[in-house]
Chain A
Amino acid sequence: MTTPDAPDHIDAATASRLLQTASTARDRVQSEIDRHTEARITGWMAAAIFIYVLTLLSLFTAPEGAGSVEGVSGISYVNVLLFPFLAMTQLVQGARDGLRVSVIGSFRGSKSVLFILGLVPFFVLMVLSVASIEYPWWVGLLAAGAAAAPAAASAARSARAAGARGVPQTRGGPLSAMARNVTLGLGIAFGIAGATTPYSWFPVVVLGLMLGLVALLAGYTSRWGLPSIGSEWGQRQWVSFGVSFSLLFVLAVVTARTPWNGPAVAGIAALLIATPLVASAFASGRRR
């Protein structure tokens, strides 16, 4: 977009002033980036990716007939994991949206190649699992580590850039009615997903939850979209989500690999899964 009739009024003094303006703008933007929060958000994403990949591999390698539900293979529980993982990515977007300046493009260019390369071991192990070829358990750990490594490296870079700068303080306050209701809904949905795991008809329930999630994803720019809800969450809600998320994943593995998950165990597990999020809906969040 080069001008054919370039203006003559940009002399050296004006050009120098404009360049100085650009430099000042860049410095101001850099000073506004909250590296501590960026590091925490990306670090938790790395942890979630690690848990997700490890759990997926664990489900794929579950021996036939070893699970708690007769005739249901480990692969059938994949949707139980997809629901909280997709919800998390949207909520994390909300946490980023709450920052005054957020760094984007973490996975552009060469970094996107590294991100894809990090997933290669995971896909190889998936193929091996489908072909019923066994591999040592620690290889799964390495594959999960490789998948999470780019995000973990990005978090480490942000933490290093944050240096000794103080952590910005945010005021606490009650969640809005919308955020409270959606947080409650998420807790209950996680609980229902957990409670139905020992039944052969649980995929139907999970399908219903997935449809609900699709509606939430479709409205991601709205007031009730998950990014908007995530932007209001404070430490209490994030820790609760992490606990519910991890427990649901553990329950999926237990159901796929052991005969222990009967209705009573699933009922107690569902309560343990739902309670942190439900309780956090009434706790203070982050207000701006």
Chain B
Amino acid sequence: MSEREGGRSHPRHQLDDALLTPVRFSVMAALGSGVEIDFATLRDLIETEDSALSKAITHLVGVGYLSVRKGYVANKPRTWASATPTGTQAFAVHSAALQAIVSGAQAEPDSARRA
């Protein structure tokens, strides 16, 4: 049994630093289902501001979780973002850890009652 499995088994140890801010987490949630979304649409969908979204995307591109493409639509510049396979995997692990934290908290009162 590894140290992580044995000594550090709490699900919070599986949480991903890069996804700990709400905006980054929401960006990955929105892009995690095999879609490509342009900057303005993504901003509206996750209800944030340009600067916060820009920072989040720059960070996620830096860690290899997002890829960004630039181009033009109807003569106007646009930027599209999509999740990389690494990013999708990292988001799945992070979500599973969050789910485990929720499940763990629900299990604790049950075991207390049994004791």
Contact = CB atoms under 8 A, between A and B. Distances in A.
Interface of A: 1-3, 6-8, 10-12, 15-16, 18-19, 21-23, 25-26, 28-30, 32-33, 94, 97-98, 100-105, 108, 176, 178-179, 220-223, 225, 227-228, 231-232, 286-288
Given A6-B12, A18-B22, A19-B99, A30 B33 contact: yes
Interface string B14-42: 11111010100110011111111110010
B73 A104 contact: no
What is the size category of the interface that chain B forms with chain A? Answer: 35 or more
Contacts of B101: 10-12, 15
Interface string B78-113: 101010000000100101001101101110000000
Contacts, number: 138
Interface string B53-95: 0000000000100000111111100101010000000100101
Given A1-B18, A7-B15, A25 B72 contact: no
12 contacts: A7-B20, A12-B101, A18-B25, A19-B99, A21-B29, A25-B46, A26-B29, A29-B37, A29-B45, A30-B33, A101-B35, A221-B72
B13 interface: yes
B22 to A, nearest CB: 7
Given A223-B72, A288-B73, 16 more contacts: A6-B13, A7-B15, A10-B15, A16-B98, A19-B95, A21-B26, A22-B26, A26-B33, A29-B30, A94-B73, A97-B80, A98-B74, A103-B36, A221-B72, A231-B73, A232-B74
A97 B16 CA distance: 31
Contact of B75 (A12, A23, A223): A223
Given A6-B12, A103-B35, A12 B102 contact: yes
Interface of B: 4, 10, 12-18, 20, 22, 25-26, 29-38, 41, 45-46, 63, 69-75, 78, 80, 82, 90, 93, 95, 98-99, 101-102, 104-106
Given A25-B46, A29-B45, A176-B75, A15 B33 contact: no
B73 A15 contact: no
A273 B33 CA distance: 41
Contacts of A16: 98, 102
Contacts of B38: 97, 100
Nearest to A100: B41
B17 A105 contact: no
Nearest to B77: A223
A102 B80 CA distance: 10
Contacts of A287: 74
A221 B45 CA distance: 25
Contact of A228 (B4, B16, B72): B72
Nearest 5 CB-CB pairs, A to B?
A12-B105, A22-B29, A228-B72, A15-B98, A15-B101
Contact of A29 (B12, B14, B35, B90): B35
A102 B72 contact: no
Contacts of B16: 1-3
A18 B36 CA distance: 22
B30 A221 contact: no
Contact of B72 (A10, A32, A222): A222
Contact of B36 (A3, A25, A101, A178): A101
